[in-house]
Amino acid sequence: MGKPARAVVIGTGVAGLAAAVRLAVKGYRVDAYEAAATPGGKLAELRLGGFRFDKGPSLFTLPHLVEELFTLAGRPMAPHFSYRPLEVAFRYWWEDGTHVTGWTDPERLAEELERVLEVPRATTRAYLHRASTLLDRTGRTFLEHSLHRWSTLWNGGVSQALLAARPRELFGSLHDVNTRALRHPKAVQLFDRYATYNGSDPHRSPGIMRMIPGLEHGRGAYHAVGGMRRIVHALHGLGTELGVQYHFGAPVERIRFSADRRRVAGVRVNGTDVDADAVLCNMDVEPAYRRLMPDLPAPERTLRQERSSSALVFYWGVDRGFPELGLHNILFSRDYRAEFHHLFDTLDLGDDPTVYINITSKEDPEDAPPGCENWFVMINAPRHIGQDRDALVARARRTVLDKVRRTLGVDLAPRIAVEEVLDPAGIEAATFSHQGSIYGTSSNTPWAAFLRHPNDHPTVRGLHFCGGSVHPGGGIPLSLLSARIATEALPLA
């Protein structure tokens, strides 16, 4: 018998790590090439003056997508990674003193919104039930299957999913749907926020995005014990056990093709040609086409789509505790529509951003020195198009500190013991995410799901794509699903 087929994975973000595991399970000899010195992509980690921070994604949902990789490999997950459920997904704050506890249990959340906002319990129940129904009836089709393969269309999956949605959910905005369903402006703002889970504007994102709360308030929210970086360690360790060969500090220079460009031939790394029967690209598709495939016609319509928002993050080691805060906290802006107008229309920051504060030392006390907390403080930011970085960061710092003072009544600046900043330009430089957009393209049109780049190249056999810039989208769960979709059609080696 000949040697098993060989596969190359470009990039070791969470999707690339998952794809490498899946290919190894299929029997491929897998080489994974990564430009950085370590795996993980946006799932990075920062240690600063006795504080530990997750640098990127901080919310963990759908843990079964990690578990299934260990199940496929026939390995126990427990030695590598563990998580625990959260009773509270988020704590929400407004400047007028209103505070809502975002219980993961739908009934408790309904009770909370009735108590604090006087939203009838039945209204919230109905809203969350609809979110879960959409997640079951349409989410599985749109998120777990390719929308670019005839098999999905032929079997009726897409048509049935569309029929399960109401016209307003398909063609109206998330904000309009939420306003009609919930009415109370603070409840509307709370559920409008879920458009930011894929870097979009709730006033333009389709109403079908109302399914997203079904993850936290139906499937549950979880804490990754030891930090989100543990997911990277777990999948990298699993791939190593399965024989995946990882190459760090090894940026791929070209994807190679057959003479007729109808089949992938391999890659070029450090001037050396590496042959492969399949190439899985976990790089943002925009730089992937421009840098790695300059001789292959690029899908310009896809690459010209509006990019998602980016992020500006302050990593603050704070020298005291805040018992009123939890693991995940949101300080809402006073004018949400104006905030998104700045993000997507003027490509600038407003003077009153919504502030997200993640404090993992609430769950893992070793992430901060005794009596201290590690604050990951993030605001949505416009994509990077050459704005003045220093001015952007300085203005953001002032507005965030002002927001904390107005909302929580705390002058935080004197309490900051250590500090580091990550801005959109820094995200682009560190992860090759085009313009620093953290979710690839936005979902600001009803047909955005169909316009994302497919997981298989339409004309080149053996070339596949995974990660947040392709179908089904950004974030850890969708990136893991992209790895599944991209590899499922490949034969056993």
Residue 99 DSSP class? E
Residues 155 and 251 occupy one common structural domain? no
Per-residue pLDDT tens digits for 396-446: 999 999 999 999 999 999 999 999 999 999 999 999 999 999 999 999 998
Out of 123-127, 191-195, 489-493, least confident range = 489-493
pLDDT of 215 = 92
- Specify the residue for token string 């030891």: 226
Mean pLDDT score across all residues of the chain: 94
d(CA 471, CA 457) in angstroms, rounded, equals: 12
Torsions phi, psi of 23, nearest 5? -65, -40
Per-residue pLDDT tens digits for 238-258: 999 999 999 999 999 999 999
Classify residue 418 as exposed, middle or buried by CB count within 10 Å of its CB (0-12, 13-18, 19+): middle
- Domain membership of residue 268 as a residue range: 6-43+227-305+444-488
d(CA 128, CA 132) in angstroms, rounded, equals: 6
Residue 295: inside a domain, yes or no?
A: yes
pLDDT of 164 = 74
The span from the first CA to the last CA of the chain, in angstroms, equals 12
Per-residue pLDDT tens digits for 189-202: 999 999 999 999 99
pLDDT of 187 = 98
Q: Which two tokens stand for residue 150?
A: 């005839």
Domain final position from 170, 197, 217: 217
Residues 322 and 423 occupy one common structural domain? yes
Domain final position from 189, 217, 245: 217
55: pLDDT strictly greater than 70: yes
Residues 331 and 427 occupy one common structural domain? yes
The dihedral sign for the CA sequence 306, 307, 308, 314: negative
Residues 200 and 231 occupy one common structural domain? no
d(CA 269, CA 87) in angstroms, rounded, equals: 47
Residues 259 and 293 occupy one common structural domain? yes
Beta bridge partners, 85, equal: 222
Residues 289 and 197 occupy one common structural domain? no
pLDDT of 280 = 98
Which CA distances in Å does 147 have to 42, 102, 254, 455?
Answer: 26, 33, 27, 9
Confidence tier at 167 by pLDDT (50, 70, 90): confident
Residues 140 and 201 occupy one common structural domain? yes
pLDDT of 414 = 98
Amino acid of residue 324: E
Residues 407 and 320 occupy one common structural domain? yes
4: pLDDT strictly greater than 90: no
Residues 169 and 198 occupy one common structural domain? yes
Classify residue 52 as exposed, middle or buried by CB count within 10 Å of its CB (0-12, 13-18, 19+): buried
Residue 407: inside a domain, yes or no?
A: yes
295 contact partners, CB below 8 Å, separation of at least 6 = 261
d(CA 493, CA 475) in angstroms, rounded, equals: 29
Number of domains into which the chain is organized: 3
Residues 376 and 482 occupy one common structural domain? no
Residues 151 and 235 occupy one common structural domain? no
The mean per-residue pLDDT over the stretch 54-77 comes to 96
**Cβ atoms of 146 and 456 closer than 8 Å:** yes
